[in-house]
Chain A
């Protein structure tokens, strides 16, 4: 029994560590309605294309809230630089939506989309 324990405990620990480090791809997928980052990016892009700035502002806030939820889940398995890049993109989209700059907003949303895809494929 003692020998089994001495093998099982480290094996379980190793499996937990592997799970923490490799489940980023699973954890970034939505678990509910409030954390679907991809959906909010697509919606936001449509809003900006139609220049519906009030709706874009609301969707941007939802995107930010969704990202905050997902960020906590994936932080141990992804690169911090990618997470910071998404934070920066969201801040820039916020500025572009505020001044109703369609070109800049589309550029930044596309960049955020790219960072999101690169985040633990």
Chain B
């Protein structure tokens, strides 16, 4: 009986985890982690809890997986909901200064922060321009230009790179970022037409790079031919 129920739970879990997606362990959020543990717990009960029928455990497993997929779909459709569900990256160091309130909100201790910095070969907080705690708890660090790389020691002038500014997400133009960059919708539309898109609804993600060029990732990849690279 345990063997048959084990086979059912094993393959059910395999199928459901395939449906849930391909996020790597390092990329999952805390909620995804708890979701994984709970689903695993359902599968274990389904296998060895012979005192109750298999069906209620299986329905529990199915319900959690459906909710997990629903959350993923909703997160993909709406940036606001995605931020609400998954939280958003938090800046904890700015120009060598630790932002205490932000650090407190992320439940990171100072020693943990310093340890994460050391793991990134940073032993002085003053070297840091930005440090961001990502949604998965990892620390991303942008060093100040003078500590960044060889170019500094070679006295090669560097440009100030502030990273990407999102202008379109999931077909919607982000007006806040447009005004921040002193751009307008007309400029965006011109750029879209130049790159072969009729409107923003065809675009999944677009951002302005450091050279003020609009980089676009459309829903339909413009690949003319396909080939199975695994063959």
Contact = CB atoms under 8 A, between A and B. Distances in A.
Contacts of B156: none
Residue from B1, B12, B15, B54 having most chain A Cβ neighbours under 10 A: B54
A21 B55 contact: yes
A76 B54 contact: yes
Interface residues of A, number: 17
A97 interface: no
A109 B52 CA distance: 24
Interface of B: 1, 4-5, 8, 11-12, 15, 18, 50-55, 58
B11 A17 contact: yes
Q: Is the interface of B mostly helix, strand, loop or mixed?
A: helix
A79 B52 contact: yes
Given A10-B18, A17-B11, 15 more contacts: A13-B15, A14-B12, A14-B15, A17-B12, A20-B8, A22-B55, A24-B53, A75-B1, A76-B4, A76-B5, A77-B54, A77-B55, A79-B51, A79-B52, A81-B51
Contacts of A10: 15, 18
Contacts of B5: 76
Given A10-B15, A13-B11, A17-B12, A78 B53 contact: yes
Nearest to B51: A81
Nearest to B59: A21
Contacts of A20: 4, 8, 54
Contacts of B1: 75-76, 80
A47 B34 CA distance: 58
26 contacts: A13-B11, A13-B15, A14-B12, A17-B12, A17-B58, A20-B4, A20-B54, A21-B8, A21-B54, A21-B55, A21-B58, A24-B53, A75-B1, A76-B4, A76-B5, A76-B54, A77-B53, A77-B54, A77-B55, A79-B50, A79-B51, A79-B52, A80-B1, A80-B50, A81-B51, A120-B53
A7 to B, nearest CB: 11
